Amino acid sequence: MTIRNNFNFKHAEIFPAFVLFFAFLLETNVLPAQTTGHAGHAGNTAKLADIVRDPTDVPPSVGNRAPALVKIELTAKEMVGTLDPSAGTTYRYWTFNGKVPGPMIRVRQGDMVEVTLHNDPSSRMTHSIDFHAALGIGGGAAFSQTAPGQSKTFTFQATTPGLFVYHCGTQMIAEHMANGMYGLILVEPPNGLPHVDREYYVMQGEIYTTAPKGKEGLQQFSAANLMDEKPQYFVFNGAVGALTEQHPMPATVGETVRVFFGNAGPNQTSSTHIVGEIFTHVYQLGSLSSPVLTDVQTVGVPSGAAAILEFAARLPGKFAMMDHAISRMAKGNMAVFDVTGPENADLMYPGPAGQEHGSAHGPVISGGMTTTDEASNHEAIPVASAIANGPKTEAAANMEDMSSMMQMPKQTRSPGKKSATKRATTQKSANASPAQTSLNGCLTLAPDGKALLNIFHSTNVYRLEAQPFLFSQNASRLVHVTGHFGSVFNVEDPRLPSFVVDAVQPISPSCDTKITVAQIQRTLMKASAATKAIISMTDLGFMPRTLTVNARESRLEQFLVGNA
């Protein structure tokens, strides 16, 4: 049994006795620190660092061992890392052990945890650590204020099971947290958590910069945006694309998956959700002593809190996890579970029930909604609402003339960006009407992963916004979309006004395929019959690698066969 007596502690004379007492009670053993970090004291801030935390960096369960003394070493390092690879954006992060989040720490209820914080000599700032799992003023921050090149040690007892956030507790704390100084500590109950097949470590964070997202080069921290609580980036594990491109999280059909999820904030609550999955078990707010929630769609995780989220991988595909405050996707908030294995047509398949798949179902009945709503599926759609902002005569003409259905309808621009483009001056209609309209064009991909609709017979390009906007089957296709103009995102690039998508109809399998007028006609007929349909999740999936940027200059006539 080893107890190191180097506390920087006011009551150091009584503390060792206190520790010895508990060590005796708990039959304490000394264990190596169960952290995932690659400890080291040399920090090279001149080189671009990979600050992204691999989500598989999860320490093993405590199993059935007795309480022990666990020694944790952490090193505060300030380093320039990639914030958004797609835009060449970099940022000066402040980290624990060079990664965001810092190491996940896994201990047992009743363990003594001895924490040594080193502050790398290359640091500019003092740093410290505050464990939400610790009882005591500042969660340890009072004993761990560490100047560059120095080290501090303190010890706490892990009294309470649960998943807890830790973070730097040096003023201004919000800045230290926004810059990446946070992580999770899991205090497992005796015998640990129930077995699952895979465990992942994911933390959401906010980054506040002076320039909006998408700017190349080293970005400056913005204290003003931090105080306004308006982050320019919402990231998982430190950077845009960290858990989509860099470390998508694999699983196999039939496996159970557990996510140790923390929200570092420092300001916003996360509404964590996986598209196309339902959490089977949720340890809400990270509590391991409360009843477990079952069958949950979206989990609220406040800033400075955590949750344990579990699901069963039942279908193959790319399952996107994000904050369902879904505007944040455009600010980088996205993770992917890449599930492989056999299809399960009992759960979902394209097309009418039973067709090709022969899956079992009960007797066919109508219903599921009110008779009024059912009848509304078959009502004629008023002409005026089908074409936004056009005079009725023009709209009516458009409805009759199939070739002009392929023309650009008059578009509505959101106010406040008049100077942005020449096109704006050619369009008088600046009133942001939410009226439904329809567009035909070719889908391509923006550098930030958003889908763009390149309109036929026009140089206009629209950024598409939906919930979530994740094309796979529709990628790089000629498509017909219905929706309305206007979005919060056009502030990012005023040349790309947004089109909020209600439904997408593929016209042809690719932007390079020749199509016939009849094909478009059939698509439009289908579209008008399905105006009320919400965009189908079966058509969606997160597969950015399969999207290709092409045909920005596409024109319908290039693809048409015969009369246009």
- Phi/psi of residue 166, each to 5°? -125, 155
**d(C-alpha 331, C-alpha 448), whole Å:** 9
CB of 77 to Cu ion, least distance (A): 10
**127/484 with CB nearer Cu ion:** 127
Selected range binding Cu ion among 119-127, 269-277, 392-400, 418-426, rule: CB under 5 A: 119-127
**Binding of Cu ion by 170 (CB under 5 A):** yes
> Which DSSP category does 243 fall into?
B
Binding span for Cu ion by CB under 5 A among 180-188, 348-356, 391-399, 471-479? 180-188
Residues 125-154 as x/- pattern, contact with Cu ion by CB under 5 A = --x---------------------------
> Which residue, among 28, 142, 15, 540, has the nearest Cα to 329 in the 3D structure?
540
Instruction: Quote the least distance from Cβ 204 to Cu ion, whole Å.
Output: 19
| Window 401-430: residues binding Cu ion (CB under 5 A) | none
Q: How far is the CB of 45 from Cu ion (least distance, A)?
A: 15
Comparing CA positions, the residue from 490, 434, 498 lying closest to residue 466 is 498
Are 97 and 78 a contacting pair, CB within 8 Å? no
Residue number with CB closer to Cu ion (141 or 515):
141
Q: Which positions ≥6 away from 16 have C-beta within 8 Å?
A: 3, 5, 7
Q: What distance in Å separates the CA atoms of residue 84 and residue 332, rounded to the nearest whole number?
A: 8
Binding segment (CB under 5 A) for Cu ion, from list 116-124, 158-166, 176-184, 477-485: 176-184
Work out how close the CB of 464 gets to Cu ion at its nearest, in angstroms, rounded to a whole number: 40
Please identify, using beta-carbon distances, which residue of 129 and 257 lies nearer to Cu ion: 129
Structure tokens at 530: 């399905």
Beta bridge partners of 258: 199, 310
| CB-nearest residue to Cu ion | 168
Find the shortest distance in angstroms from Cβ 8 to Cu ion: 17
Stretch that binds Cu ion, among 37-45, 104-112, 172-180, 364-372 (CB under 5 A): 172-180
Contact between 328 and Cu ion (CB under 5 A)?
A: no
Distances (CA, A) of 297 to 63, 287, 304, 348, 426: 30, 18, 21, 18, 45
Q: Please state, in angstroms and rounded to a whole number, the distance separating the CA atoms of residues 293 and 187.
A: 19
The one among 176, 273, 450, 477 contacting Cu ion by CB under 5 A: 176
Matching residue, tokens 């999860």: 58
Q: Which of 79, 133, 168, 334 binds Cu ion (CB under 5 A)?
A: 168
- Residues 10-39 binding Cu ion (CB under 5 A) are none
Is residue 426 helix, strand or coil?
helix
Q: Which stretch binds Cu ion (CB under 5 A): 175-183, 190-198, 467-475, 497-505?
A: 175-183
Smallest distance from Cu ion to CB 533, Å = 50
State in angstroms the smallest separation of the CB of 215 from Cu ion.
Answer: 25
Closest approach, Cβ 222 to Cu ion, in A, equals 18
The contact mask relative to Cu ion for 450-479 (x = CB under 5 A, - = no) is ------------------------------
Nearer to Cu ion, 80 or 435 (CB): 80
Site string for Cu ion, 497-536 (x = CB under 5 A): ----------------------------------------
Rounded CA gap, 79 and 102, in Å? 13
Residue 550: CB minimum distance to Cu ion, A: 45
DSSP readout, 141-205?
GGG--B-TT-EEEEEEE--S-EEEEEE--SSSHHHHHHTT-EEEEEEEPTT-SPP-SEEEEEEEE
**Radius of gyration for the chain, computed over Cα atoms and rounded to the nearest angstrom:** 27
Region label for 12, one of left (φ > 0), alpha (ψ between -120 and 50) or beta (otherwise): alpha
The secondary structure of residue 269, as a DSSP letter, is P
Q: List C-alpha distances in Å: 360 to 341, 346, 364, 476.
A: 21, 8, 11, 35
Q: At its nearest, how many Å lie between Cu ion and the CB of residue 140?
A: 13
What is the C-alpha to C-alpha distance for residues 39 and 102, in angstroms, rounded to an integer?
Answer: 11
Q: What is d(CA 387, CA 406) in angstroms, rounded to the nearest whole number?
A: 12
- For Cu ion, give the closer residue by CB, 176 or 480: 176
Total chain residues near Cu ion (CB under 5 A): 5
> Based on CB atoms, which residue is closest to Cu ion, 118 or 127?
127
Q: Which of the residues 226 through 285 are near Cu ion (CB under 5 A)?
A: none
Q: Which residues pair with 130 in a beta bridge?
A: 167
CB of 125 to Cu ion, least distance (A): 6
Stretch of 67-75, 173-181, 326-334, 488-496 contacting Cu ion, by CB under 5 A: 173-181
181 near Cu ion, judged by CB under 5 A: yes
Q: Closest CB to Cu ion among 173 and 196?
A: 173
Nearest approach in angstroms of CB 94 to Cu ion is 5
Report in angstroms how near the CB of residue 307 gets to Cu ion at its nearest.
25
User: Rounded to whole angstroms, how far apart are CA atoms 168 and 493?
Assistant: 35
Closest CA relative to residue 3, chosen from 171, 227, 174, 155: 155
Annotate each residue in 192-231 with x if it binds Cu ion (CB under 5 A) or - if it does not, as one string: ----------------------------------------
Contacts with Cu ion by CB under 5 A lie at 127, 168, 170, 176, 181
